[in-house]
Amino acid sequence: MWWWSQLYLHSRLFWWISNWRGFPDIMSSDYAGELMIWIMLATLAVVFVVGFRVLTSGARKAIRRLSDRLNIDVVPVESMVDQMGKSAGDEFLRYLHRPDESHLQNAAQVLLIWQIVIVDGSEQNLLQWHRILQKARLAAPITDAQVRLALGFLRETEPEMQDINAFQMRYNAFFQPAEGVHWLH
């Protein structure tokens, strides 16, 4: 019965600690109260950190899914979700959390529309994001349904419809038929 020996060793260790010369001084009433405060503060900090991680794990997983696929940092996706507002951001995260590849494609197109129409409409930025989507194999012409989806998610930022339509025409020009290759929409 090995547990008897373990119990004996633990009881001997406890006896040694309690009879240690400095032990009563360390556990004086002033020090014990201060120690208890620090233990409570440490416990609150741990509970806060663990609770935050548990409560935001779904959102972080959805954001990471898109950013990993695009091979980018999570900051642009998080910034977009923050600018969407609480309800639209939650809708976008639920939409992105769906396992379909088409949902990931549409979420990437919403991110593209936000990056070009809202953040920076320069030609260099457009080419950079087009290349990112190509590397992720998510580059495709923007459909009217994706524009409506983006308008729904970005309703808090109130984007102009004519700006989005102009961007759609500009971006879809990348997919014009060349040398007999035709895109099916």
* pLDDT, position 15: 55
Q: Which carries the bigger pLDDT value, residue 174 or residue 150?
A: 150
For residue 152, how many other CB atoms are within 10 A of its CB?
14
Instruction: Determine the 3-state secondary structure of 135 from DSSP.
Output: helix
Query: Which pTM value belongs to this model?
Result: 0.67
For the residues of 19-62, what is the DSSP string, one character each? TSTTHHHHT-HHHHHHHHHHHHHHHHHHHHHHHHHHHTHHHHHH
Span of 43-47, 105-109, 163-167 with lowest mean pLDDT: 43-47
* pLDDT, position 21: 53
* pLDDT, position 108: 92
Instruction: Determine the 3-state secondary structure of 90 from DSSP.
Output: helix
Identify whether the C-beta of residue 77 lies closer than 8 Å to the C-beta of residue 67.
yes
For residue 135, how many other CB atoms are within 10 A of its CB?
13
Residue listed under structure tokens 């009563």: 24
Quick one: what percent of the chain has pLDDT higher than 70? 75
Cα→Cα distances 86→29, 32, 93, 137, 149, Å = 49, 45, 11, 30, 17
Residue 56 dihedral angles phi and psi, to the nearest 5°: -105, 10
Q: Whole-number mean pLDDT of the chain? A: 80
Q: Over the stretch 61-114, which tens digit does the pLDDT of each residue have?
A: 888 888 888 899 989 888 898 888 889 888 988 888 888 888 889 999 999 999
Helices (H), the chain: 2-18, 23-26, 29-55, 57-70, 75-84, 86-97, 101-113, 123-135, 144-153, 161-172
Q: Over the stretch 7-26, which tens digit does the pLDDT of each residue have?
A: 555 555 555 555 555 555 55
Q: Over the stretch 134-145, which tens digit does the pLDDT of each residue have?
A: 999 988 889 999
Residue 33 pLDDT exceeds 80:
no
Residues paired with residue 178 on neighbouring β-strands, in sequence order: 181
